[in-house]
């Protein structure tokens, strides 16, 4: 259940990043930008790291789950082939 929650959280954070990108686009006036624009840019940069970390964690977790399943299947196959 935690695995699926992390996947949903990744999508939700991606949508938040996209919404912030719209705000970032419409608040840009030039250098130096308004406070809201600078704040949105910093939040987006942080979100990129959080989303990237989440993707790595979920990918490694999925890889370990598949490796465990494959290892169990190989052990069953090896047990069944021995007389």
Which pLDDT tens digit goes with each residue over 19-50?
999 998 888 877 666 888 889 999 999 999 99
d(C-alpha 24, C-alpha 34), whole Å: 10
d(C-alpha 28, C-alpha 55), whole Å: 29
Region 72-77: mean pLDDT is 90
Residue 80's pLDDT is what? 76
Tally the domains of the chain: 1
Q: Give residue 16's domain range.
A: 2-81
Which has more confidence, 53 or 1? 53
């Amino acid at each position: 259940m935690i695995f699926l929650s992390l996947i949903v959280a990744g999508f939700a954070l991606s949508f938040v990043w996209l919404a912030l990108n719209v705000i970032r686009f419409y608040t840009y006036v030039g250098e130096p930008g308004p406070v809201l624009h600078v704040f949105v840019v910093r939040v987006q940069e942080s979100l990129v790291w959080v989303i990237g970390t989440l993707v790595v964690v979920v990918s490694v977790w999925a890889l370990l789950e598949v490796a465990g399943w494959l290892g169990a299947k190989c052990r069953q196959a090896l047990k069944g082939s021995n007389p």
